[in-house]
Chain A
């Protein structure tokens, strides 16, 4: 069994299929710290503010430079969605909010 799985060739993180230990060499990178099973490890250096990519899509942005082999999780990745606490008022997608739900039906 492979120790990690990479889902898309565009990804910059891999998912650990077993617990990884510091110093373990996987392909082109060396694991820098203990990584629990199911958590993500960076495969290359991800600069501050750059997209973290899994499934070939952005899952958030790096809040610090993440070196190859580092644990990638809530301590160094930030979601861009649903952050009412930041008083962000604009939706993330260019569509106006409807006054009514789009699919409603009357009371029979």
Chain B
């Protein structure tokens, strides 16, 4: 690694991946073990972090796979140093499979099952005992210099207003372009918010096949929405978007798509929570709902998220820092505990987009090296697995 290349202090994992956090992940296999998992994680916070969720049973086919694959992806994620699975005992998601996903990535994994342990009290006590041992190990793990090309950056926007497309999204897009120039990767989700701007992204595909895959995913989402017989304007743009001056989904998408860079090639299109294996820009098939979208992109391997907002939003993630940036000076002031970076100077000519992007780039590296993002300081650890089908 050349001395002049940007980098960060991260955690090198046995499987070769690089993390920016070193969490003990307390994973419930099913909604029924979520409360125990949350209590165990709380006893060893902030290194301990839980993945409370509402699934894990009563699911069929693709939804079951999505739940399992997302939980397994978090167990193998490089921001996680050790895994403690909290099972119930009769659920569909198999605790052993989740522990195996962690072990395949070379990290310690343990299972505590509520039924075989003899109930909530005994299972919680047993799990906390194991958790304390694992955390003591994790606290001794040193950070090491890592090259920026190891990063997968998730780009996200939420609570958009007119400033998003003018300041924060283009600033983030410049960071994504620079990261990819340096050998890294970026991931963009929220298919519904590409609708109306897909031609611009498709034109950046290196081959017609990748462009077609993008268009197919967008058509599927649009067709799914229309199959309900409803008007997508019920949610896109959202009521807050409309108050903020955004009129149509096309307008929102054209502003939103800036955050994926202006020139970075469209390298791949992947399913929800699927591994991001390409350098360049990957589009992931996620819904527009913020927490489900961030959950999927982190599951795909993104170690850090930059989240642009106009109206302000608190969303975090259990294992990845979510950095908030706004181009709205009023939001930067009113919600300053949630906002990491204010780029509103771009709109009143006090700062160029390139200068704002430069500050954001440095912020990303500092957070990857260990500085808490605002969402982490505030304990925002939202997690929600996308579902397409009814619970059976």
Contact = CB atoms under 8 A, between A and B. Distances in A.
A79 B219 CA distance: 16
Contacts of B69: 105, 107-108
A27 interface: no
Nearest to B275: A105
B389 interface: no
Interface string A75-108: 0011111111111110111011110011111111
B285 A101 contact: yes
A20 B101 CA distance: 57
Nearest to B227: A84
A26 B198 CA distance: 33
Contacts of A85: 229-231
Contacts of A73: 242, 245, 247
A106 B275 CA distance: 12
A81 B230 CA distance: 12
Nearest to B285: A101
How big is the B interface, by class? 35 or more
A9 B287 CA distance: 33
A55 B255 contact: yes
Contacts of A78: 248
Q: Which secondary structure characterizes the binding site on chain A?
A: loop
Given A15-B245, A59-B254, A108-B72, A82 B216 contact: no
A45 interface: no
A80 B196 CA distance: 9
Contacts of A37: 162, 245
B254 A57 contact: yes
A65 to B, nearest CB: 17
Contacts of A104: 271, 274
Nearest to A104: B271
Nearest to A82: B232
Interface string B49-68: 00000000000000001001
B233 interface: yes
A73 to B, nearest CB: 5
Contacts of A86: 231
Given A77-B247, A85-B229, A108-B97, A54 B222 contact: no
A1 B348 contact: yes
Nearest to A88: B226
Given A91-B219, A103-B271, A108-B72, A55 B165 contact: yes
A81 B250 contact: yes
B274 A82 contact: no
Contacts of B245: 15-16, 36-40, 73
Contacts of B195: 81-82
Interface in B226-271: 226-233, 236, 242, 244-245, 247-251, 254-255, 268-271
A68 interface: no
A77 B252 CA distance: 14
A24 interface: no
B212 A95 contact: yes
Given A84-B230, A103-B213, A59 B251 contact: yes
Given A77-B247, A80-B250, A107 B222 contact: no
Nearest to A7: B166
Nearest to B200: A57
B250 A84 contact: no
A49 B349 CA distance: 35
Nearest to B68: A107
B163 interface: yes
Nearest to B254: A55
Given A91-B219, A103-B274, 14 more contacts: A38-B244, A55-B255, A58-B196, A59-B254, A60-B250, A73-B245, A79-B248, A81-B196, A81-B248, A84-B228, A88-B226, A95-B219, A101-B220, A101-B285
11 contacts: A36-B245, A57-B254, A81-B196, A81-B249, A93-B219, A95-B212, A95-B216, A97-B216, A107-B69, A108-B72, A108-B101
6 residue pairs, one from A and one from B, having the closest CB atoms: A82-B232, A84-B226, A38-B245, A38-B162, A79-B248, A59-B251
